[in-house]
């Protein structure tokens, strides 16, 4: 990554797109404390995140839904969800927050006692997002939530993200589906070879973003 500068404002869904190897996942990993930043600053509400462990980043109000979902297949759906609540200091509202997750993803309540490993890919993605939401994040980092999913399932995932936006959750969305991300997000950054190549709102990018050129440089 070289000179990457981006910002996410409260209540926004901000997209981060680019070809494989552009640095999208690395950007999320640096924000979340999974890899150290060699230089520069990462600020959240004006406070630095550099040097913090992922656990401390979560306690600051940031949650990550990693690429590939990474649910615990040998645990039940309910156990996976409650793991997401581990970092939060307050437990008195956990039942209410679980109810909100079930309203967003009814399938999770239906399979609450089932092994997470038996869920479909789309259901596991819903579980991964629900687990992250139970840490009560103010910023949700989503890494390739549509990866490997059927088109109808992708629609339901984007519907869920839109519902989160309407409820006030701020989202930084890394996505392989570039055209849909530009149309869906409030603003989008295009990464290429570790640098920001283009950025703007959906209205701005809709008129100037040639994805083949932007991705391949041809």
Query: How far, in Å, CA of 189 to CA of 196, rounded?
Result: 7
The answer to whether 125 touches 69, Cβ cutoff 8 Å, is yes
What digits encode the pLDDT tens for the residues 82-98?
Answer: 999 988 777 678 889 99
User: Is the pLDDT score of 201 beyond 60?
Assistant: yes
Phi then psi dihedrals of residue 16, to 5 deg: -135, 110
The answer to whether 97 touches 133, Cβ cutoff 8 Å, is yes
What digits encode the pLDDT tens for the residues 98-140?
Answer: 999 999 999 999 999 999 999 999 999 999 999 999 999 999 9
pTM recorded for the entire structure: 0.90
Residue ranges and CATH numbers for the domains of the chain are 13-72+135-216 (3.40.50.300)
The pLDDT score that the predictor gives to residue 138 is 93
User: Is the pLDDT score of 42 beyond 90?
Assistant: yes
Query: How far, in Å, CA of 197 to CA of 185, rounded?
Result: 17
Characterize 195-212 residue by residue with b for buried, 16 or more Cβ atoms within 10 angstroms of its Cβ, and e for exposed: ebbbbbebeebeeebeee
Query: How far, in Å, CA of 200 to CA of 206, rounded?
Result: 9
């Amino acid at each position: 990554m070289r000179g990457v500068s981006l910002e996410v404002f409260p209540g926004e869904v901000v997209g981060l797109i680019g070809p494989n190897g552009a640095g999208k996942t690395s950007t999320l990993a640096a924000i979340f404390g999974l890899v150290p930043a060699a230089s520069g600053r990462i600020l959240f509400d004006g406070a630095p995140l550099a040097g913090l462990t992922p656990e401390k980043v979560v306690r600051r109000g940031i949650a990550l839904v990693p690429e590939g979902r990474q649910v615990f297949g040998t645990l039940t759906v309910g156990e996976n969800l409650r793991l997401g609540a581990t970092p939060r200091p307050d437990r008195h509202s956990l039942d209410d927050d679980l109810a909100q997750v079930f309203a967003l993803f009814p399938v999770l309540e239906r399979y609450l006692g089932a092994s997470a490993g038996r869920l479909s890919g789309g259901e596991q993605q819903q579980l991964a997002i629900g687990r992250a939401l139970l840490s009560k994040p103010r910023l949700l980092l989503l890494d390739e939530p549509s990866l490997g999913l059927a088109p109808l399932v992708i629609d339901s995932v984007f519907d869920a993200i839109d519902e989160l936006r309407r409820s006030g959750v701020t989202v930084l969305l890394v996505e392989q589906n570039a055209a849909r991300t530009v149309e869906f997000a409030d603003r989008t950054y295009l990464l290429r070879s570790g640098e920001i190549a283009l950025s703007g709102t959906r209205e701005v990018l809709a008129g100037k973003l040639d994805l083949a050129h932007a991705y391949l440089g041809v």
